[in-house]
Amino acid sequence: MKRSLLIVTLICGVILTGLIATDVQAFEVLTKEDFTQKIVMKEHLIKTADNGIILLDASGTMNDPYLDTEMSRYEVLIKSLKERGEYFPDLGHKMGLYVYTPWKPVYPVQPYNREKFAEALASLPDKASGPTLLQSGLRELESVLKNLSGRTVVFVITDGTYMDMAGKPPGAIAKALAEKYNVCFCVISTADDAASMKVLENIASVNFCARVIPFEAFISRPEYNTGMLYVVSAKATVETTTETKLAGVKVDNILFDFDKAEIRPEMSGELDVLAEFMQGHPAAYVVLAGYACNKGSEEYNLGLSLKRTDIVADYLASNHNISSDRIVRLWFGQLNPVADNSTEEGRRLNRRVELAVGGL
């Protein structure tokens, strides 16, 4: 491997003033400061979904303590949503926020407005209470989805328990919705037993874009929700501040053969150096963004990009013992090409997994 392909910047505690202009790949770890200082313009970003809906679990189980924060899961979740809402970019998304324990519109789906969304979050009760009504919430969701166009990402915060044992299980309801509407379920899991985890896995199996994310990972890695709604355009140039980063690493895209999800031998060296960097920086985490060219159906390519993301993550875990909580997995199919899909060379470059390091 040519080490010149790897750019490692060590600031070593010296704070540099000004900005560094960098050509970024389609996924870049962007900080709150990058947005609030208006370094990232909306022209740099593209939507990966048209609508975002949050189904919020406000049942009594959310009052369980969260790690050693002296806050409950519910309090941490609301705090996180408020902070992220402060710099969520205006890209024309429609957004909605609903409590489903029981069902209550908090911010009915509408064009995203930062101030109104903040007011909706502030209107939520200070403490969670109520029953777990996951099936009822998913059934109510259809009344929202039927009025939407484009792709909708539904973030479902749940522990996987439900009360209506005689009705259809949550996975069956989610599957029917996914077959009828262009919807992607992102399940934020607070499950703490095998049976509940199985319920959530069933929801995540309804199509290739669905997934389960542990609650702790969702709170600590904002890319899990921003990456579901937008990414940096493959052709954008973004200026990023250096004040928030003590070290940085950039690795070339991991490229794949047509219709394959195996790591080519010449690509493994890139991952070995990345892993070495992460081992030397325990706070670092890596974001993987998988893509495909446009040969084949959109759904097939979405699944293929998922496989490519998984094989890179598995390589880092099995060969270098990088724990799963330090790997953010995202996949986008044929979206956001870096090159022209009408040429063989362009398609070769688009069959990729991009890597970005955060937490530095």
In CATH, what number is assigned to the domain containing residue 209?
3.40.50.410
Tell whether 261 and 331 lie within a shared domain. Answer: yes
What are the start-end ranges of the E strands in the chain? Answer: 7-10, 19-23, 45-47, 51-56, 94-100, 103-111, 152-158, 183-189, 211-214, 230-232, 237-241, 247-250, 254-255, 285-290, 327-331, 352-358
289 belongs to a structural domain: yes
Per-residue confidence at 43, pLDDT binned at 50, 70, 90?
Answer: confident
- Residues 268-317 have pLDDT tens digits of 998 998 999 999 999 999 999 999 999 999 999 999 999 999 999 999 99
User: Cα(264)–Cα(316) distance, rounded to whole angstroms?
Assistant: 14
pLDDT at 234: 78
Tell whether 145 and 277 lie within a shared domain. Answer: no
281 belongs to a structural domain: yes
The structure tokens listed for 189 are 């899991």
242 belongs to a structural domain: no
pLDDT at 237: 65
Angle among Cα 78, 225, 71 to the nearest 5 degrees reads 25
pLDDT at 271: 94
pLDDT at 249: 64
Tell whether 112 and 147 lie within a shared domain. Answer: yes
Distance of CA 71 to CAs 62, 68, 128, 256, Å?
A: 11, 8, 12, 44
The answer to whether residues 360 and 246 touch, using CB atoms and an 8 Å cutoff, is yes
238 belongs to a structural domain: no
Question: Pairing relation of β-strands 327-331 and 285-290?
Answer: parallel
| Residue linked to tokens 């319920």 | 199
The answer to whether residues 154 and 188 touch, using CB atoms and an 8 Å cutoff, is no
Tell whether 222 and 259 lie within a shared domain. Answer: no
pLDDT at 337: 93
Tell whether 51 and 185 lie within a shared domain. Answer: yes
Tell whether 212 and 281 lie within a shared domain. Answer: no
User: Cα(138)–Cα(261) distance, rounded to whole angstroms?
Assistant: 34
Helix 298-320 to helix 265-280 angle (10° resolution) is 60
Tell whether 216 and 256 lie within a shared domain. Answer: no
Residue 223 C-alpha from the chain's centroid = 5
- Residues 186-225 have pLDDT tens digits of 999 999 999 999 999 999 999 999 999 999 999 999 888 8
133 belongs to a structural domain: yes
236 belongs to a structural domain: no
9 belongs to a structural domain: yes
Tell whether 257 and 224 lie within a shared domain. Answer: no
Answer with the residue of higher pLDDT: 23 or 38.
38
Tell whether 293 and 220 lie within a shared domain. Answer: no
Domain range for 266 is 3-18+252-358
- Asked whether residue 3 carries a pLDDT value surpassing 50, the answer given is no
Tell whether 207 and 296 lie within a shared domain. Answer: no
Tell whether 67 and 181 lie within a shared domain. Answer: yes
The answer to whether residues 355 and 322 touch, using CB atoms and an 8 Å cutoff, is no
pLDDT at 115: 96
CB neighbour burial string for 229-244, b if at least 16 within 10 angstroms, e if fewer: bbbbbbebebbbbbee
Domain total for the chain?
A: 2
- Residues 238-260 have pLDDT tens digits of 665 444 343 456 678 999 999 99
Please identify, among 192, 213, 228, the residue that sits at the C-terminal boundary of a domain. 228
- Asked whether residue 14 carries a pLDDT value surpassing 50, the answer given is no
The answer to whether residues 148 and 109 touch, using CB atoms and an 8 Å cutoff, is yes
117 belongs to a structural domain: yes
Please identify, among 228, 261, 281, the residue that sits at the C-terminal boundary of a domain. 228
Question: Pairing relation of β-strands 51-56 and 94-100?
Answer: parallel
Tell whether 162 and 203 lie within a shared domain. Answer: yes
Share above pLDDT 90 across residues of the chain, in percent, rounded to a whole number: 73
